Amino acid sequence: MRRAHRLGYAALAITDECSLAGVVRAHVEARERGLHLIVGAQMQLTLPAAKAGGEAPTPHARLVLLAQTRRGYGNLSHWITVARRRAPKGEYLAHPSDLEGRVPHAPFLAGLPGCLALLVPDASQGFEAVFAQAMWLKTGFGEDRAGIALELLLHPADEALRAMVKKIAQLTGLPIVAAGDVLMHLRSRKSLQDALVATRLNCPVAECGLALAPNAEQHLRSRAPATLYEREWLDNTLAFAARCSFSLAELRYEYPREIVPEGHTPASWLRTLVMQGVERRFPLEGPGAEPGTEAARADALARIEHELALIAQLGYEPYFLTVADIVQWARSQGILCQGRGSAANSVVCYCLGVTEVSPREATLLFERFISAERNEPPDIDIDFEHQRREEVIQYIYRKYGRHRAALTAVVISYRPRSAVRDIGRALGIDPQRIDAVAKGQQWFDGRSIRAERLRENGFDPESPIVRQWVELTQQLIGFPRHLSQHPGGFVIARDQIEQLVPVENASMPGRSVVQWDKDDLDELGLIKVDILALGMLSAIRRSVADIARKLGRPFEVQHVPREDASTYDMICAADTVGVFQIESRAQMSMLPRLQPRCYYDRWSRWRSCGRGPSRAAWCTPT
């Protein structure tokens, strides 16, 4: 996007193959530079095995789809989901019949309303095959929404391709659009592009053959000169770009409806649940009543009013209701769970049962959790027993359906060691020697392979192949490598989530993942709920069950004595091996000096300490 802006482009289309994973980052860059981003994708259509008469699908046509409107974007996202969900992770199957309205649950994909379609002709298929594809495209999309993309990359067959495309355009009436099939922003990136192709094919560059581009013309060229493309074709390109008005800023997240019963609004139902929690957390009478509860309750009610007002101002009531519903179901199934992080600063979360930590005792600001000035969505991380977290995930899928709920993705980027390995393999270096250099790479080495690391393993740092290894490794660090599954972030939509973001299969059966990661979701204001796993909660569950068996009566976590003197004697003596969050050497060295005598002492003593230990030596209660 930066390169296009410097070259004076009016617009740029990002069209990854059956993916929208990169469009949010492009959207952010384009917005900062005032560049018109066109959201799209390219699809390699295949004929199903049965129709092709073989055991595997056969290639049919290659299309580039561009979203004109919000409806078109939703349809494109939905088609990507259909193609991805019918294939294993990392693959897709897009059939011509999809655009003919033959997908049972998505007949609206017929003609992909709201999208422009460009046929990318493959001259090797022959004139008749490409002509038939162009007629099929014209029939499905109409002459006003279809075109032929002509990519002239200074290949030997360019003249034959040009003549064929002009003839087909004349016969079909479809406009010719100038295109560049851009894979890199600079010509100098050709070596890195070849290395990435070799990594994808899992073989050295020397063995990739015709899979590698014969030249470096697939870079973002200065606006295509008339010597390559006719003026009419360039004008058609501008006309197609002008018709694509959709922006990712148009996406709006809507919360599910099930969380609010009839007769209530999200605000009224949240207040009802919170007030029920007040009776449970601050009872004025009964076995749970304690001296001073009346004053504590009055203070809590005042803080609740402040928090609810801010939540209402930002419109986050449905988010809290969604989280509360998940927590209540887990507790009804006897699954231990606990809210983590700054959610402990909220009396609303405390009354909803999301956290067991009273914010009154933590004395931290609610604005640390939610702030109108930051205008950021709330982030509540909930830990569940790691052995039973899958039950919670499947509950979400059952309640909202696979078409409305999916896990968040994580973009895994190249780090020094993975970059060293992949570039080394692409250059044909011995795998054992690559592994030795990679294992010697340390975080303090930065983005380069140090000369001493190379010499230690018998490499000459000045040899051409080693210098190229070092140079390409530096370029590759930070590049996206692949999409992985977030530890537990869930996106739950009111209607079909595929209308917001494409969904694909995860590696684990029974799970699906959106194509955007946490930062992408935050950028567009899409809310996620973090359903995380914590092994210590499973250990606590087993411990509580064991105590109950020994006592011969029911015993739950709330029955554990809150301030047991012998426990704090052990903590003050640094006898905390295996104790969650205070078992590290740094913690054990600080505990005898802090001398905590109650649960909240570690925070208050750190704050009042004259010299003050490092922040690594303490943690807020969670």
Instruction: Using 50 as the pLDDT threshold, list the residues of the chain that sit under it.
Output: 603-622
Provide the pLDDT for residue 176.
97
Q: Which residues contact 98 (CB under 8 A, 6 or more apart)?
A: 79, 82, 83, 106, 109
Q: Are strands 381-385 and 337-340 parallel, antiparallel or unpaired?
A: antiparallel
Provide the pLDDT for residue 372.
75
Residue with tokens 């992770």: 89
The phi and psi torsions of 151 (rounded to 5 degrees) equal: -110, 105
Provide the pLDDT for residue 618.
37
Q: What is the pLDDT of residues 528-571, one digit of tens each?
A: 888 999 998 999 889 999 999 999 998 887 778 877 888 899 99
Q: Alpha-carbon distance 367 to 365, whole Å?
A: 5
Provide the pLDDT for residue 613.
40
Q: Which residues contact 504 (CB under 8 A, 6 or more apart)?
A: 81, 84, 85, 89, 92, 483, 512, 513, 515
Q: Alpha-carbon distance 476 to 420, whole Å?
A: 9
Domain map of the chain by residue range?
2-182+220-249, 266-411+483-536, 564-622
Q: What is the pLDDT of residues 120-165, one digit of tens each?
A: 999 889 999 999 999 999 999 998 999 999 999 999 999 999 999 9
Q: Alpha-carbon distance 103 to 99, whole Å?
A: 8
Nearest to 468 by CA among 132, 194, 155, 101: 194
By CB atoms closer than 10 A (0-12, 13-18, 19+), residue 204 is middle
Provide the pLDDT for residue 509.
82
Provide the pLDDT for residue 208.
95
Provide the pLDDT for residue 114.
96
> 440: part of which helix (H) or strand (E)?
helix 431-440
Asked if residues 588 and 596 have their Cβ atoms less than 8 Å apart, the reply is no
- 277-282 CB contacts, 8 Å cutoff, 24+ apart: 277/350, 277/351, 277/352, 277/353, 278/304, 278/351, 280/351, 281/350, 281/351, 281/358
Full-model pTM: 0.87
Domain 2-182+220-249 grouped into CATH 3.20.20.140: yes
